[in-house]
Every structure is written in structure tokens, then in C-alpha cells.
Structure 1
Amino acid sequence: MRSLWTLSALALSAEAIKTTGCPLLGPAFPAPTSLSEDPIFSSKAEELTSKLNEAIEDGSLPGISFAVQVFSSEEDHSAFGFYHTDGPVKVGSVGVKEVDEDTMFRIGSISKLWTMFLFMTLEGTRYFHEPISKYVPELQIEYSPAQAKDKINNLQWSDVTIGELASHQAGLARDYAFGDLGFKSDLLQSMGFPSLPEDEQLTCGSEYPCDRQEFFRGILKTHPLTSTSQTPIYSNAGYQILGYALESIANANYEEILWDRLIRPLNLTRSCLKVPDPSLAVIPHNETFSWFGYEIGEEAPAGGMFSSANDMATFGRAVLSSTLVDPAVTRRWMKPLTHTSSLQHSVGAPWEIYTFLTPRRVDLYTKAGDIGLYSSSIGLSPDHNAGFTVLVAGGNSHAMTSTIGEMVADIMLPGFDEVARNQALGRFGGTFALTSGSSNSSITITADDGAGLVVSSWISNSVDMIESLMGLQGVTDRSGISIRLQPSGLETPGKISFLAVIYTLGVPEDAGPLLGSCFSWILLDSLVYGNVGLPEFEFSLNHDGYATSLSPRALRVTLPRV
């Protein structure tokens, strides 16, 4: 009843407000294919090449070597590549002299993404609500009644789930020992810090990494920062613990799991956990100063990986196409689990999800990583089955990676949409009609700058269906109604399903979140005829994927393509 009331109430305001479009969240068109051969994409690639060269020449990207690739899960090679080598690297004494698609970089915290991908190969989302202590015996703690009540000083491990660790919502500290200022206590005392008592001085994490026993001895003394699921606070230590849980679930050590479930199946020839041959990598200055040779030890699941642009793109394609993971698991995994205080930044497991608003809302599922002079990022757009990766080595690498990544996204995301729209119009556009006998029915599909294919005309049994829908909705101005088709994600051999957002409302520019939100997800299936929703549209396809007929399923008719 609430939905019907909302439908009626909103319809009354439609005449005074011009429709601006209110699509469903998700793809506006089927994902583009053959990106590398598409002239629209080629134009965007030339624009990106020009922007990157300009940034190098004007000094906007100083002192770095980097590799960029743009890829689609529909192709087994990258659609775009750009590689730049800093002058000192070209004449350096260690590492490659020229960066290319196979050059190895440290990828830092993108390792967390690989760790969670390994979980996904084990149907990982089903573990998200289980307590981490079930799989990590060191966390099976019996607190005294006083400790159990003292939640400021004691993290309640029985409350911590695998999903909370994966999405940085456990309230756990960022690290144990790694980067602790206590290793510089003599210097810091002159800056106002007190001397550390002997029993609080750290015994590992400076000259050598902490082993598992030392890590838990320290992390169990670490104060929680928040209660569980209070707010996301980034934690490398959480992913070290997730690595132990993964070992318990898979009954193997982390490196074996990585090799058996990711590196070998995807044939990642330039990816590894241990420090690789320096001759395969880009190394600014030297192995020590760059942190290339730094052994991260037990924290490897959080930040120890090495990879190349080619391997990163292969990994990205595997995620998008569910190569090693059940597609239903992938869809559950690629969703926000919490938000940040930024309206355009949410958090997954461990996705850093950024919302781009042009040309429409597109959520980019990313992960960034930093260690020493290395910084990296990967961004995946499920709407387009496409993504990009940026690998950087050099000074101020994090800022440089963000600069390049945003440059790629700003050019390529609208480009992906433009390619997808153009291809969808070719596959599904035109008129579908049945005029034989007593039937006079037709639908014309077009496209404009908005999200989704446009039903520009719709006749059923000689009646204008758009006028009929206006009557059902109580709308008198034809501009107050639109019908746009978006892919539903449902396909079967020879057929593909779309959903029609039949009634979309514009909103005043000064509207707040209650009046200004898109209600299409609430109202979508409000119009049903004989247990079949009016939004259900189904195309039949030929062997090349082009529509041969269209069925508005509620009307029980199939219209051949003219």
C-alpha cells in the first residue's frame, strides 16, 4: 500500500517538474565489447595519451616511472597501454631500464584485494558473518568479568566477524609494530613524548618483521579504536589476521593458496609474494631506499605482493568475468558494506568504492596500495565489465597514482558509456512491429544522452501505450513520463532481459535527500498485468547478438524487428 500511495503522490508533482531521468543503479546498457577496435574508444585512448604526455612534459608527473592499462573482460588483451620511465631509472644500476607491460612493481595494499579474492574462490561471502575467532585460535580469549566490561581497553574478539575485518569495521588498530614511533623514542622525547617503560618497548617490527606469536602477543594488548561496525578504520593488522583465517579454511599456507588458486590458474608470470629478481622490476634509487627488497613477513596478505601491469589487468578481467569464482559470489562481493563521511566514497571488502556522477552515476570499485616508493591502484567498473590499473614507482608516488587514476577515470568512464550506448543502439535500436491480421502493434527503440535505451513510441492493438500509461499514472504532460530500458543482468541462450523504468521523475534543483532521491527502484514493478510486470522486456537474439524480436512480456506479444 505504501508504494501505491507513493506512486500516486509523486505523480501529482510530475507535471510541475521536468523529467531529468532517474535510472536504476547499475548498467545503463549491456557492457561494451571489442573495446580496442571501437573508434569511439580509440578517440578516448588518444585523448588519454595526449593528457599523460602533456602532464609529463609540464612537470605534473615529476620523478616517477609508471605503467597504465585499460582493459575489458570481453578481450584477452588490454585495450590501452601507456608506459613511462623516469630519467634516473634509465641510467640506473639496478632493475629495468625501460618500463613496459611486464615490468614488476610492488603493489602494496592491493594485496588485500588478492587475499579477499582467494576467500571468494572458497565461496568467501558465506564466512562474512562468522566470528574470526572460529578460525584463529589465538583469538579464542576467555576474558574475566572485569575485562569483558572494559570495552575501552579490550577488543571483544567474540564480536568480531570476518566481514567486519574485511571491511575495516572491527575497530582494530592499523598495524602492530610496523611504523611504530616507539622505535624512535630517543628522538621523540625531545619533542615532548615520554620515555617508554621497558615492558612497553617493542621487540620486533623494526629490524625484522614480527612472527605470528609476537604479532598476537602485541595485537591482543592493543586498545580497540571503536566498537565493531561503528565506522570503517583502515587496518593492515586485520588483513594479517584474515590471512591466518584463510589458511585455516583452506588447510594450507598462504603462499600455497595464492599459487594454487590465483597465480597458476591465471598464469600470472610476473606476480609473486617473495621479493623477485631485481632485473624484472623498476627500482628507483636502489633496493633499500625504494623498499623494493623489504620483507614484510607475516603481514604479506595485507601488503606483500609484487605484480606487473599485464598481470594486474589479467586479475581485473578475472574478477569482472568471475573466471575462478561463482558469478553470484562476485555480485555479492562487489557491493558496499559501509560508508565513509564522503558522499562519493564507500567501503567494501576491501573495495574502496568511488562514485562518479558524469555522465551518470557509476560506481568504480577500486583498491590502492602504497609501500616505500611504490604506489598502485586498480579500478573496476562492473557496469561496463571494464577497468584500469596504474602502477607507479618514484617520489610522491601516492599523489601521482591518484592523479593518473582520476585522469583515466574522467576520460574512460564516459567513454565506456558512449561505446556501450552506440553498440546497444546497433544491437537493439529500430522498430519492432506486428501488423498482420487484426494486430497493429509496434515499439520503436532509440537512444539519447540519458541512461538506457529509449522507448520513443509504443503502439499496442492500435492504442498509444504511452498515452495509456500516462492515464494510469495521472500524468497529463507527455514530457513527465519516459520509458527507458536497462539490462536486468538476466540472460539465457538467444535471449536477453531488460527492465523498463516506465515512470521517472525529475526533482527541483534545491531538493534535499527525501524529495531529491530516485524512487524508480521502489516504483519499478508497481504496474503488473496478470502477474507479469510492465517493466519486463525480452529481446530474442541472433548468433551475432543482434535483436531479431522484442516482447513486452505483460502484453503477451512478440514483435519482429523491422
Structure 2
Amino acid sequence: MRLNKLFIGSLLGFAVSSTARIIATDETPLIGPSFISNFDPSSSKAINNAKSTFPGLIEKLFKSGELNHTDLAFTVDVFSAATNESLYSYSHVGPMSKRALTSGKLDDNTISRIGSVTKLFTVYAIIAKAGMEVFSHPVTKYLPELAGNSTGNPLDRISWDEITVGALASHQAGSGGITDFFMAYQDPKDPKSLEFRAEDLLEFFRDKRLPVVAPYHSAIYSDGGFAILGQVLARLSGQSVTDAFEEILWKPLGMNSTSTQVPTGSNLNVIDRLRISNESAWGSDVEIVASTGSVYSSTADLRRAGLSILNSELISGPTTSEWMKPRSATGSLVELVGAPWEISRLEIPVMPASNRTRISDLYTKAGGNIDYTAIFALSPDQGIGYSILLAGDTATPARWPLRDVVGETFIPAAEHAAAENAARNLAGTFVDEENTGNNITLTVDRGHPGLGIRSFWLEGKNALSGPHYRIYPTGLTSTSSSLSSLYQTKGSISIAHRMATPFTPLNPRAEVEGGKGGLFDNSFTWMNLDSKGPIDLFVFNLEDGKLVSVEFPLTGTVMKRKA
């Protein structure tokens, strides 16, 4: 998802000409947040601008025909880990969809189908139950029935003894789709039956399923693999997939509107498109694929799930960080694959009104059940996330422009809100009260990522040898290893930062990144950190989000805020 000129111009409030270029910042910053995110972004200028801009962007999508105003019903929720609340919500109900709303309204608690966003919960449940170490286990440890295919030709069988749980979770098992299983095992006497046996699934994938690619050859989206992964979850938990979800995720997180089966009872608040179309996927529940695309949920529950991940509520902070990392590349420079994250590498303007950008990874999962689609996204760098639920005949194509417009509006806004906060609460001059010859001045600079160092003096001597030093947070805090500590807005907290020192003069970025270089980048920032010991380590001490002192542990120097 590369930020396009229309959305950048709308968000940042300046005209972008047809010849404007997005250029990666010369400093090649570390991957991760540019600034700390432990502040309430809801009152920031950047977020408020995004809120006011967003309805107009949706109207442009209606006018262009990318979204069908008459057909669609959709709701958007943007949330923040710093407040654990919604930052912004938006909904639309087209005239054709009104009869599908059982409560007569579309709100935060309206239940829709989320399709393959289900896959995210399958992996989440497995990690919460058994830890990340299960990713290295062979699938046959839990499903020995998959072993035993005697076919000698590796082109004719999936080599399950070579496939791990992690390969399934990251679409790298070569296990392909699920449609041919349904065709092979559907009851000919009752072709509308949705009942399938687990033993038949395992038999099919052992004996009849042709591999798509060799294990780990490349990521190939696999509904079939996630049906198998559901059986792994069942064996791990000793329960059905439905019961495992309930026990491991729904109940602990208070996700009371979420289920693998169609909601029933009185006073329902759902989008039931069977009211307007006999072809709707509403209620088409198949237990054997409950792990791959069967979940029903609301934006309120998806917010609970997203915040639980950002706040490491069910799994540890290091485990969360390990889970939220790429596990495979794709043929695109900006699309990576996780387990089962669909990771978009965003080029975000480092400051409002700047065409200099840095990379920030957005962790998404898309889903679809014919006339129901969904998007779930988390941006750990900024501590925000969003979900989108859509219903309608045009829901499948509509999810992509909606994904883009929400991400392209609120992710840069959150980045710029962090820059606003840094200018207000982090930048300044800090002086050693016992020796004024020890001092540092931190800045927020247009067109540059992270904090700058205008000056740094130790014992009255200039401690800097070049002009390009930038300081970035490391994710290490004094209070917890949980990601939630990164978003702590109140109380005392110490956060480790590292000073990145690019080569001087700066090498040009690669041509593909908008720079004047060639095929390669020649920046080695990530290789140089701590190469000479902790001479690049600074510890920021904050009180209620305000930086009050800066420590330089190498010399034991503590410099307190003066301006």
C-alpha cells in the first residue's frame, strides 16, 4: 500500500502535482517506530484533520464508482492502544441494505461475517495455547494420520513429514485450496449437506491433494492448509475448533458477539442478507473449515482482539513481537507474509507536508464470504489499529479501496501525531545540574525521521562528529516487556533509545525508493548499532508522557530538562 497523491494531498493539506515524487529519507531509519507512542493521539491536530477529511474521501470513492453507494453496508472502527478506545468510527448503509439490518441500525455491535480474518484467530489461539515453539513442530506430531502416503513421486503427494505448523500458519506448506475436497467428499445423495468428517479431510490431504509448491518455496495462500491447522488446534486443546476459540479467545477477551456459527435468538443486531438475497453466505457454516473462514463478529469485538494483541494480554510481549514479524516475501516489494499476517510496507511521510518517507509495516488480514468481507489491521509503530466490516453484492471488490483509504488516512495521521507529541514533550535542552558541560539538545526536524541531536556536549567537549545523528526508541522499557508499556501515558517510565549514525556523506537511496542510487541501498545503519558498545545508548525518563531527563549510561551522566 503505497500512499497515493490524492490521499497524501488531502491529508496533509497541500497540493501534489503530477510530477511530485515520494522519496525515501536519506537516513534509512531502523524499522519500528520513529517516535514513542505513549500519548493520547485523540486530541492531536493530525488525527483531527484525518477525522474531518475522511468522510470526503469516502464520498469521492462513491462518486468514482469504486464503492457502490446503493448496495453496500459497512462500518469502520479505528482504535488506539494508548487509550484502549475507539479513535474514530464511520458507517454507511445503502438503501438496498437497510432490510438486512435486524435491529434497524448499523453500529459498533452489529455482527457480520469476517471470512478469512478467522485465520488470524486460529493462529492466535494456537500461540496462546502452546506458544511460538509449536511453529517448529512437524504437523504429523499432532496429526499422525497425515503420514503414510506411499506414493514415490513427490509431484503426486504433499510431504507432510517435511511440513511444520509454522509452514501452515504462514501459507508456506504448498497445501493449496479446499474446494476440491468438498467436491470429492460431498454426499451425492444430499449435495446441499455441509457436514464433513475430520478423518475425510486428513485422508484427502494425505492421499489425494497434489502439492502446489515445495514446502517453503514461496507463500501460496492456502484455505486447505488452515483447515488442517484447525485440526492441529483441536488436538492441542482437546476440543472442537469452536470450543477452543470460545475457551482460549472469546471468553478471556470478552468477545461476546463472536462465534463460528450463525447468531440466533431474539433482539439480534446483525446484518442478515438472507432477508434480501437467497444467494447470501449468511448461515452457511461448515465446521470442518471453522478455522479458515467461518467466524462472525462485530467491530467492537475486533477492537477488543486488536487491543489484546497490541497490549499482549494473552501472550507475552516478546511472543507478540515475534509473531508480528514477516515470515516470507512475495513478488511485491511492499507485500510480505506473516502467520498469517498480510503485511503492507507503507511509505509514510516522516512529517506533515514532507515528501520524505520512511517504512512502517502494517499488519493486516483480509477476509470474505461472498457477500460479506472484512479487513483487520494493526500498526504497532503507532499503537493503532482498524477494522472494516462490509456487506453487499459488491463487498468483495469494495474491501480494497476501503482498506486503502482508512490506512492511508489514519496511519500517516498517527505518525504525525507522534511527531507533534515529540515536538511538545520530547524535544528540548537537557543539562547536567552538577556539570553544565554535559548537555544535549533534542529536536524534531521536518523531513527527517526520529529525534535529531542539535548538540551533545560531554565535559565541555563536542561529542558529535557529524550532522546526521538520529535517535530511535528500541522497545525496551523499565516497566514491562509487554508492548502495552510502549503506549503507557501516565506515571513514570524509562525508555531506552539508540542513536543511529549513518555514513557521512549520506549515500543515495536506491532508485526504486525514489533515490538517485542504483539497484542497491548502501546504508548499513542496522549493522552499526552498538558496534562499539553502548556509546549510542540513551535512556529517556518520562513523567506522564513528558521527557524530564536524559541519561547517558556510558558515563553515568543525567541531564535534566531546562527548556
TM-score class, shorter-chain normalisation, is 0.7 to 0.9
5 Å-filtered alignment, 1:260-299, equals 260-277=247-264, 279-284=268-273, 286=275, 288-299=278-289
Distance 2:74 2:81 in 1: 23
CA contact (8 A) 2:230 2:291 kept: yes
Aligned-residue offset at 1:275 = 0.8
Shift in CA distance, 445/203, structure 1 to aligned 2, threshold 3 Å? farther
Q: Point out where structure 2 has 5 or more consecutive residues left out of the alignment.
A: 1-23, 350-357, 480-492, 510-514
8 Å contact kept, 2:66–2:401: no
Matched, 1:156 2:159: yes
- Counterpart position of 1:215: 201
Cα offset, 1:269, TM superposition: 2.2
Report the CA distance shift for 1:264/1:410 in structure 2 as closer, same or farther (over 3 A): same
Secondary structure of the corresponding residue to residue 164 of structure 1 = helix
Alpha carbons 1:103, 1:281 under 8 Å: kept: yes
Q: Which runs of structure 2 are paired with 1:174-189 in the superposition (5 Å)?
A: 174-177=177-180
Asked if the contact 1:123–1:329 (Cα under 8 Å) also holds between the matched residues in 2, the reply is no
Deviation at 1:58? 5.5
Measure how far apart 1:104 and its partner are. 0.8
Cα 1:527–1:19 change in 2 (3 A) is farther
User: Given the alignment, which residue of 412, 416, 432 partners 1:414?
Assistant: 412
State the Cα distance separating 1:201 from its structure 2 match: 10
Q: How far apart are residue 507 of structure 1 and its match?
A: 1.1
User: Using a 3 Å threshold, how does the CA distance of structure 1 residues 557 and 351 change in structure 2: closer, same or farther?
Assistant: same
Which residue type is aligned with residue 119 of structure 2?
Answer: K
- In structure 1, the gaps of 5 or more residues are 1-17, 184-199, 471-480
SS at match of 1:262: helix
Q: 333-342 vs 448-457, which deviates more?
A: 448-457
Query: CA separation of 1:130/1:205 partners in 2, compared to 1, >3 Å: closer, same or farther?
Result: farther
For residue 118 of structure 1, the aligned residue among 120, 125, 130 is: 125
Query: Does 2:72 correspond to 1:64?
Result: yes
Q: State whether structure 2 residue 450 is matched by structure 1 residue 443.
A: no
Which runs of structure 2 are paired with 1:402-481 in the superposition (5 Å)? 402-434=400-432, 436=434, 440-449=437-446, 450-466=448-464, 469-470=465-466, 481=467
- Is the aligned partner of 1:105 residue 2:112? yes
Cα gap change, 1:331/1:136 in structure 2, threshold over 3 Å: closer, same or farther?
A: same
Q: Does the 8 A contact of 1:89 with 1:285 survive in 2?
A: no
Query: Which residue in 2 is equivalent to 1:511?
Result: 517
CA distance in structure 2 between the aligned counterparts of 1:241 and 1:157, rounded to whole angstroms: 11
- Kept in 2, the 8 Å contact 1:19–1:506? The answer is no
Q: Which amino acid in the other structure matches residue 315 of structure 1?
A: A
Counterpart pick for 1:489 among 475, 493, 517: 475
Report the Cα offset of residue 396 of structure 1: 2.4
Structure 2: distance between partners of 1:42 and 1:19: 26
Letter in 2 for 1:419: A
AA aligned opposite 1:262 = L
Aligned match of 2:40 = 34
SS state of the match for residue 127, structure 1?
helix
Report what 1:74 is aligned to.
82
- Check whether the contact 1:178–1:205 (CA below 8 A) recurs between aligned residues: no
| In 2, Cα distance between equivalents of 1:396 and 1:511 | 43
Corresponding residue number in structure 1 for 2:134: 127
List 4+ stretches of structure 1 deviating above 6 A.
200-205
Residue among 359, 362, 379 paired with 2:360 = 362
Q: Which moved more, 1:276-285 or 1:364-373?
A: 276-285
Q: How many residues are treated as equivalent by the alignment?
A: 504
Give the deviation of 1:358 after TM superposition.
Answer: 2.0
Give TM-score scaled by structure 2 length: 0.85
Matched with 2:487 is none
Aligned to 1:525: 530
CA distance in 2, matches of 1:244, 1:401: 29
Find the aligned partners of 2:314 and 2:76 in 1 and give their Cα distance: 25
Q: Would the aligned equivalents of 1:446 and 1:456 in 2 still touch at CA under 8 Å? A: yes
Which structure: larger Rg? 1
Distance 1:519 1:436 in 2: 37
Q: Give the direction of change, closer, same or farther, for the CA distance of 1:436–1:83 in structure 2 (3 Å limit).
A: same
Q: Distance between the aligned counterparts of 2:182 and 2:559, measured in 1?
A: 66
3-state secondary structure, aligned to 1:121: helix
Distance across 1 between alignment mates of 2:118 and 2:110: 17
CA distance in 1, matches of 2:132, 2:281: 34
Secondary structure at the aligned position of 2:177 is classed as: coil
State the secondary structure of the residue aligned to 2:154: coil
Q: Is 1:536 matched with 2:537?
A: yes
Tell me what 1:561 maps to. 561
TM superposition shift of 1:33: 2.9
Output the CA distance in 1 between the equivalents of 2:414 and 2:162.
42
In 2: Cα distance, 1:547 partner to 1:435 partner: 16
Q: Which amino acid aligns with 1:344?
A: V
2:147 is aligned with 1:140:
yes
> Quick check: 1:71–1:79 contact (8 Å CA) kept in 2?
yes
- Say which SS state the counterpart of residue 557 (structure 2) adopts: coil
Q: Is the 8 A contact 2:114 2:297 kept in 1?
A: yes
Q: 1:429 offset after TM fit, Å? A: 1.3
Query: 1:502, CA displacement in angstroms?
Result: 2.4
Change (3 A) 1:209 1:233: farther
Q: Distance in 1 between matches of 2:387 and 2:191?
A: 31
3-state DSSP of counterpart to 1:378: strand
Quote the Cα distance in structure 2 between the aligned partners of 1:535 and 1:322: 29
| Partner residue, 1:190 | none
Answering whether residue 556 of structure 2 is matched by residue 546 of structure 1, we say: no
> Aligned partners of 2:263 and 2:135: how far apart in 1?
33
Look up the SS of the partner of 2:409 in the other structure.
helix
2 CA distance for matches of 1:73 and 1:204? 49
Q: Residue 442 of structure 2 contacts residue 452 of structure 2 at CA under 8 Å; is this kept in 1? A: yes
Aligned pairs for 1:229-248 (under 5 A) are 229-248=216-235
Q: CA deviation at 1:284?
A: 3.3
Q: Is the contact made by 2:100 and 2:271 (CA closer than 8 Å) also made in structure 1?
A: no
| Greater Cα shift, 389-398 or 95-104 | 95-104
Distance, in Å, in 2 between the alignment partners of 1:228 and 1:408 is 35
Answer yes or no: is the 8 Å Cα contact 2:457–2:463 preserved in 1. yes
SS in 2 for 1:78: strand
**2-side partners of 1:228 and 1:353: how far apart?**
21
1:92-125 deviation per Cα after TM superposition (whole angstroms, max 9, x unaligned): 2773432111111100000000111101212431
Q: CA deviation at 1:451?
A: 1.2
Pairing partner for 2:246 from 241, 245, 259: 259
What letter corresponds to residue 46 of structure 1 in structure 2?
A: S
Aligned to 1:20, what secondary structure does the other structure show?
A: coil
User: Contact 1:536–1:552 at 8 Å: present in 2 too?
Assistant: yes
Instruction: Return the letter of the residue paired with 2:496.
Output: S
